[in-house]
Amino acid sequence: MKKTALIATMTLANLAQAHSLDFAADTYTAKTAEVNGATIAYRAYEGIPYVKKPVEPEYQQINIYIPEAYFNGGSINGYSAATAPIFLPNQIGGYMPAKPGVPGERRHGGQPGADAMQTALAKGYIVASPGARGRTSPTGKAPAAIYDLKAAVRYLRHNDAAMPGDAEKIISNGTSAGGALSVLLGASGNQPDYEPALKALGAAEARDDIYAVSAYCPISILEHADAAYEWEFNGVNDYEKMDITMLDYKVERKLVKGTLDAAEQHVSDELKAQFPAYVNSLGLKNARGEALTLNDDGSGSFRDYVASYIGAAADAELNKNQIPGALGVLIPDPNPERVAAFVEENPWLTIDGNFTGNHVRKVDFVAYAKAMGRQKTPPAFDALDLSSGENQLFGDAHQDTRHFTAYSAANSAVKGAGTADAATIKMMNPLSYISEKTAPQHWRIRVGTKDRDTSHAIAAILAAKLQNSGKNVDMAMPWGVPHSGDYDLDELFAWMDGIVKGK
């Protein structure tokens, strides 16, 4: 066969396989869910390809769930078929491939009762859960997962008129690696860097900015996460480490105890020393406009800023029990035994009390990190022996694992180890794109005080950068919460309803 004829035949074959990106409203299964004693009826549209030319069809698909009421002119929670927001929970954990989510399929780490998707349906949201490619496949390496989430957003916008729900009100949600991708999806809306790959996949021609971002414990800013981790945990030499096959927060973890050897402690010192220059280069400010910086020894206003979130969580925990005081007004329960036990359990807190309750006066951040304990060995993400999940994330079709920081490339334990290209690293870091012009105005970030999967500095940098860019940021480090997500659905949905309804 002549070459041109062969190409023509291949093109025809590709065209024949290409999926339509038009939403088929009549192809669904009728389902119900019980949420807080009420029954919610919805239509399930499952396994819809969101690109015309999928590379990994089992992951590049989306499940869409729509309350039945919206097909009968009904309304739920003040929303109608025209105004209902679209809740976009990704299921990504450990930067692994992720199938689209299904309401009621319990995930590790969520609160008991209805899950996030069922709760969303009961509250009148459209649920659209995209699958995405992941690090274990040669075609799932960075930045494949973010291409996929963007393609899913484009699919929803392309079908805005054909589907109930408002594609201008897409709210992304994710945990851990999924939290990082939720942040990145918001930060990178409509950025041209991603355009050629989206074209090649046959993504719908539509915008991919979203309305709001919810992220739990984002494993983000990966190329500075090693330095951040050592800034937090340097000097903590005992660790409880997990196998990378258990990175995914949905899998129950087994931890192996150990102690950093002299070489690892040296790596920790070198990485910790890199962090102040990085933080200082960001020009971050707190809400009062004061500079957030670090001294060479790791102390400084940025550390105080991170500690302030931990102090606020401790304060809320201390004062959560209310009792009737004078004139029947509720006051925090002074319960001296409970306060004494709290101080004994958390000796890194300085607390004093007055008639308004017991208040955290100081957080000793170094002692806090020691008390929480180290979970990763240095470098925590770009491992010198290429053994981390993130090394695999930054691999390519030819090399399964690669470095992605100059430090680990220079100190690699593997002969001939490759390094990811600058464009890929840029496209995985939300800070490459966050500015006043970044699309979503509304951001909610949560990372628990007991999370050791990445430094608390990562979420703090994101929050400060977003605030400094004029965004509405709801940021907290909930007390005692380990690496997990979806544990505060009442608050999450109150926040989402608030931003959508303008409260």
Nearer to ligand DHB, 306 or 447 (CB): 447
216 vs 433, beta carbon nearer ligand DHB:
216
CB crowding 244-274: b at 16 or more within 10 Å, else e: beebbbbeebeeeeeebeeebbebbebbbbb
Smallest gap from residue 214 Cβ to ligand DHB (A): 15
- Could you check whether the bond before residue 379 is cis, i.e. omega within 30 degrees of 0? yes
Q: Cα separation of 350 and 237, whole Å?
A: 25
- By beta-carbon proximity to ligand DHB, the closer residue of 121 and 447 is 447
Residues contacting 215, CB < 8 A, separation 6+: 173, 174, 175, 179, 180, 182, 183, 443, 444, 445, 446
Q: Please report how close the Cβ of residue 451 comes to ligand DHB at its closest, in angstroms.
A: 9
| Closest to ligand DHB by CB, 19 or 253 | 253
Torsion of CA 458, 459, 463, 465, to 10 degrees: 20
Q: Which CB atom, from 249 or from 309, has the smaller least distance to ligand DHB?
A: 249
Tell the smallest beta-carbon distance from residue 94 to ligand DHB (Å): 4
Of 159 and 268, CB closest to ligand DHB: 268
**Cβ proximity to ligand DHB, 225 vs 294, nearer residue:** 225
Q: Evaluate whether 285 touches 292 at the Cβ level (below 8 Å).
A: yes
Q: Residue type for 53, please?
A: K
Q: How far is the CB of 464 from ligand DHB (least distance, A)?
A: 22
* Residue 296 Cβ vs ligand DHB, minimum distance, rounded to whole Å: 27
How many angstroms separate the CA atoms of 503 and 495, rounded? 9
Which two tokens mark 122? 């009961």
Tell me if the bond preceding 130 is cis, omega within 30° of 0: no
Shorter beta-carbon distance to ligand DHB: residue 182 or 358: 182
Cβ 475 to ligand DHB, closest distance in Å?
20
Min CB(487)–ligand DHB separation in Å: 14
Q: Which two tokens stand for residue 430?
A: 């939300």
Give the residue closest to ligand DHB by C-beta.
176
Which two three-digit tokens encode residue 30?
A: 């009728």
* Residues in contact with ligand DHB by the rule CB under 6 A: 93-95, 176-177, 219, 247-249, 389, 453
β-bridge pairing 322-324 and 212-216 = unpaired
> 456: helix, coil or strand?
helix
Q: Least distance from C-beta 249 to ligand DHB, angstroms?
A: 3
Q: Quick one: 204 or 393, whose CB is closer to ligand DHB?
A: 393
Please report the beta strands in 165-300, taking only residues with DSSP state E, as ranges in sequence order: 170-175, 212-216, 238-242, 255-259
Cβ 95 to ligand DHB shortest distance, Å: 6
The string over 111-124, giving b where at least 16 C-beta atoms fall within 10 Å of a residue's C-beta and e elsewhere, is eeebbbbbbbbbbb
Angle between helices 262-282 and 456-468 (to 10 degrees): 10
